[in-house]
Structure 1
Amino acid sequence: MNIIPAARWSALVVIVGSLLVVPAGPALSGPALSGPALSGTGLGSPGLDATAQACVAPVPSTTQPGYTVADPNCDLNGTPFQPLTDGSGKALSRTYAAIENGAAYRMEVPLNWNGELAIYAHGYRGTGTTVFVDNAPLRAHFISKGFAWAASSYQTNGYDVGQGVRDSHALIAQFARVTGTRAKAVYMTGMSMGGHVTGVAIEKYRGSYVGAMPSCGVLGDAELFDYFLDATVTAGALARVPVQFPLSPPPDFPATFAATVAAIQPVLGVNNGAPPALTAAGRQWSNAVERRSGGDRPGFEGAFAFWNTATNSGLPFLFGVYPGTNGGTIGVEDGNVTSNRTTWYELDNHWLPTWDEIKLNLTTLRVGRTAEPSPDLTGVPKIYGDPRIPVLSLHNIGDLFVPLSMEQIYLERAMARGQAKNVVSRAIRANGHCDFTAAELTRGFDDLVSWVRGGHKPAGDAILDPRTVAAPTFGCRFTVGVRPDFVAPACG
């Protein structure tokens, strides 16, 4: 997704010859994520609510100094974790919860268990030092279909995918030990950062899982943070406001960056906490973000307004996730994992570059990474797109936090490794992050299970075909329910 299309380069060479040189710029770096001030849009589950009362106070972690682990027998609001019941109050399952090796876990086994297990990997929970486990979103469906399920708090918070992979995989052996029976088949599921956990887990622990369903997942690993970089540096270039990306940000850099954003906003027509009133330059920025986030697609104008109305760290959302505010470390990496050195920014869908595109690419700050996605479970683990088992994923096409491009990158990698046969992607018409109806998720899981059991690949969306993605009906096939804030031509 980051490589400049050959046709664009050729046309550019014809137009400006040797004039275009990608600006070298210092080898700079990107941010530890801080959750957005937008309900339901964090990288997965919401963060710890300091006002919620757990049944028992969190206990010190035995593996992570300074961490505590919340009581797994209760939700943070005090609701006890108990078996599901039928209409008459009769239990439908057996539940298990405990703390082991610094992580809390929950498990639930239906009384009519089919012998199979679904593991759920939660998303980003900020950088607090209390970890907690919650229920899988498909809990009731799993139990109704005879599946047991298990989930871990992980031992750490932050963008620690490797720990999520290890602790989620450990659930398989824990489940056998706790219940006395080993599952005959294990499915891996996860949302947002949990999608990153899912994509890594099925490649790291081959043979452990029979199928996977990442939803709203960071399936492009560090390329998510490249996208965050793109959003801000293109805004600065179009507004003609210099943007900095220091490898080691000084203590006052957040204030410096806030001043930079304040200078950019009026030029683009972007406001704090209110829908944008885009200028001509702002519309160009919207075009650039659209193409970096998945391509021309229905509902994008409304999605762009939705995400620019949201705020993060007191800034319009897309500026609030800028990697340059903390040196590009993502909180778990020693160097900058972001780069746009070879990225070609587009403003329209024509193969021939316009003069506006040439100017944008000549003036955009270029950043080079000093750290790569890791081949193991350290730093930001790499997803190779080599699942070798069925993977069915879902993504909201208006999500500009973890955008549709993550799905496209994953499918491209799978195609390069001859694994496209094992990947199905489904587009869902919604603006929010991880905004799925129960019907969309249950259909996805049921279709995945049928695929694993019967070998028949289910239908999906052609997310790499620009004409399909740009069609007014894109996303209609697998969307169940209408989101009022998603504005696009109605599905037939």
Structure 2
Amino acid sequence: MNSAASRRLLCCAAAAFFAVLPVAALGQASPTPTGEPEVLHGNNGSITEVGVLGRAEYRIDVPASWNRSLVVFYHGYSESPFRFRLDGSIGAQPEQMYKRGFAVIQSGYSETGWALQAGYSDTESLRRYFVKKYGTPRETFAAGGSMGGALTMITMELNKNTYAGGLNLCGAVGPSYVHLDRRFATRAAFDYYFPGLMGSLDPVPPNFEESEALRQKVLTALRAKPDAALAMRELMQLHSDVEVARAIGYFTYVIGDLQKKAGGNPFDNRNWIYTGTSVNTATDYALNDGVRRYAPDKPARDYLMAHYWPNGRLTKPMLALHTIYDPLIPANTLTLYASEVAHAGYADNLVQQYVHREGHCTFTPEEVGRAFDELLTWVHSGKAPQAGLLH
């Protein structure tokens, strides 16, 4: 695809994303909570507020020594509605920003699952409600983990005038179809090795649920076929059968979630070439010859492309932090997005750092705080932090 065609596709994807946003999210209406919010005034002068805005629960935390700046924090993928309680925790990651004097707002989103559209629009409505009630912040930063990292990326691209910088924590950044097609292709490979075990892939049964019983069922099957289990571990670049069992169930749930939202199958593995199943290339030959290939439904594919294909126009600093070994969102996920940012001419506004740890989003709170400090220094001094290991 030539650069002109790429720009047209990115433009259309962004337009499609905006086209489905509620008017309130585009700044043309004043958001008002449904019912009376619950507000707790701390003895030290802090404020915590929870309520419902539109169809999304929300939480606002204003510290006693507020520095008049704001962090808009996006939570990650959730299979169940996100709830906030007045006596509940702010969360380990956003607490680091709060401790540094920042007010923090969080939307629970009006949709579960892969909720980029709802997450962006519900949070933008919450931000404008915050401004209306508490005043215009001196600076506003976006931050979030996992799917919340993707929402941080989207926010930095689509609302660049509002935000001074972004902190992407273990984020599923880049074009959504890339990592979601990978999950779909992985599940198709699993079906080749373990036919019928997980049920239909297109469509995923509407009543599919992740459960411990399902994970144990998959784990038992993996242990009964060690060569197939090895192939799946190598293909998924995972360390154990337990992680394969967890990931296959989760991937299947995500696939079903997107099929429902898109109104059909948005995924495509027809051109996917499977490699690395063992040191014997013959196992790759067998998988590629035998795996079932699926074509997407065009309207559903268009939905996936619109939710979301980044344009790379990252005009403000964004710091990304990842664990070296992440079983759900591999650490190299940011590579494609970094290329898009560079192609758009904004390579200097993206820095990738990592920590020596295994797991998805398993940062210590102190690491999140240090990364946020580096982002603040970058925004205020103009000097970007060093890519690589977070110090």
TM-score higher than 0.5: yes
Q: Structure 2: any 5+ residue segments left out of the alignment?
A: 1-30
Backbone CA RMSD of aligned residues = 3.8
Match of 1:380 in 2: 307
Partner of 1:234: 189
Contact 2:318 2:375 in 1 (8 A): yes
1:164 deviates by 0.9
Note if 1:169 corresponds to 2:124. yes
Q: Secondary structure at the match of 1:151?
A: strand
How much identity, in percent, do the aligned residues show?
A: 24
Instruction: Give the equivalent residue in structure 2 for 1:317.
Output: 246
Residue 143 (structure 2) pairs with residue 192 (structure 1): no
The TM-score, its normalising length taken from structure 1, stands at 0.61
* Inter-partner Cα distance in structure 1 for 2:56 and 2:205: 34
Q: 1:110 aligns with which of 52, 60, 63?
A: 63
State the Cα deviation string for residues 394-453 of structure 1 (Å, max 9, x = none). 223332223324323322332333333222222233333221101110011110111111
Whether 1:282 aligns to 2:229 is yes
Q: Does 2:243 align with 1:307?
A: yes
Distance change (3 Å), C-alpha of 1:451 and 1:126: same
Larger relative CO (CA 8 A, sep 6+): 1 or 2? 1
Check conservation: 1:117, 1:185, Cα contact below 8 A.
Answer: yes
Contact preservation (8 Å) 1:328, 1:336: no
- Measured at CA, do residues 253 and 188 of structure 1 come closer, stay the same or move farther in structure 2, by a change above 3 Å? closer
Structure 1, unpaired ranges of 5+: 1-62, 64-68, 75-80, 84-89, 271-277, 291-299, 309-315, 462-476, 480-492
Q: Which residue of 1 aligns with 2:6?
A: none
Q: Distance in 2 between matches of 1:448 and 1:345?
A: 38
Matched, 1:440 2:371: no
Q: One-letter code of the match for 2:138?
A: K
TM alignment of 1:252-401, pairs within 5 A = 268-269=222-223, 279-290=226-237, 300-301=238-239, 304-308=240-244, 316-323=245-252, 329-347=258-276, 354-370=281-297, 371-372=300-301, 374=303, 380-401=307-328
Q: Aligned with 1:332: secondary structure?
A: helix
Q: Counterpart amino acid of 2:390?
A: F
Give the direction of change, closer, same or farther, for the CA distance of 1:455–1:360 in structure 2 (3 Å limit): same
Q: How far did 1:358 drift?
A: 2.8
1:170-208 deviation per Cα after TM superposition (whole angstroms, max 9, x unaligned): 2332222111x2012210011122222222222222312
- Cα distance in structure 2, aligned partners of 1:149 and 1:252: 36
Q: Which has the larger radius of gyration?
A: 1
Q: CA 1:108–1:153 in 2, change beyond 3 Å: closer, same or farther?
A: same
Kept after mapping to 2: 8 A contact 1:107/1:149? yes
Partner of 1:487: none
The residue number in structure 2 matching 1:471 is none
Q: Is the 8 A contact 1:72 1:105 kept in 2?
A: no
Q: Deviations over 1:117-176 (max 9, x none)?
A: 111111223245x75476253444324423222112223333222111012122332222
Partners of 1:236 and 1:268 in 2: CA distance: 12
Q: Which residue in the other structure is 2:74 paired with?
A: 121
Q: Which amino acid aligns with 1:101?
A: G
Distance (Å, rounded) in 2 between the aligned partners of 1:150 and 1:249: 35
Cα distance in 2, alignment partners of residues 318 and 235 from structure 1: 11
Q: Which whole-Å CA distance do the structure 2 matches of 1:321 and 1:421 have between them?
A: 35
Deviation at 1:98, TM superposition (A): 3.5
Answering whether residue 173 of structure 2 is matched by residue 219 of structure 1, we say yes
More helix by share: 2
Alignment correspondent of 2:106: 151
What is the match of residue 422 of structure 1? 349
Residue of structure 2 in register with 1:25 after alignment: none
Partner letter of residue 183 of structure 1?
A: P
Alignment partners' CA distance in 2, 1:135 and 1:265: 35
Number of residue equivalences: 350
Instruction: Give the direction of change, closer, same or farther, for the CA distance of 1:252–1:102 in structure 2 (3 Å limit).
Output: closer
| TM-score of the superposed pair, with normalisation by structure 2 | 0.75
Q: Secondary structure at the match of 1:415?
A: helix
Output the amino acid matched with 2:307.
V
Secondary structure at the counterpart of residue 424 of structure 1:
strand
Q: Does structure 1 retain, via aligned residues, the 8 Å contact 2:203–2:259?
A: no
Q: Give, as a single letter, the amino acid of the residue that structure 2 aligns with 1:413.
A: E
8 A contact 1:231–1:318 mirrored in 2: no
Going from structure 1 to structure 2, the CA distance change for 1:140 and 1:97 (only over 3 Å counts) comes to same
Structure 1 pair 171/114, CA: closer, same or farther in 2 (3 Å)?
A: same
Conserved 8 A contact 1:328-1:335: no
How many Å apart are 1:243 and its aligned residue?
8.3
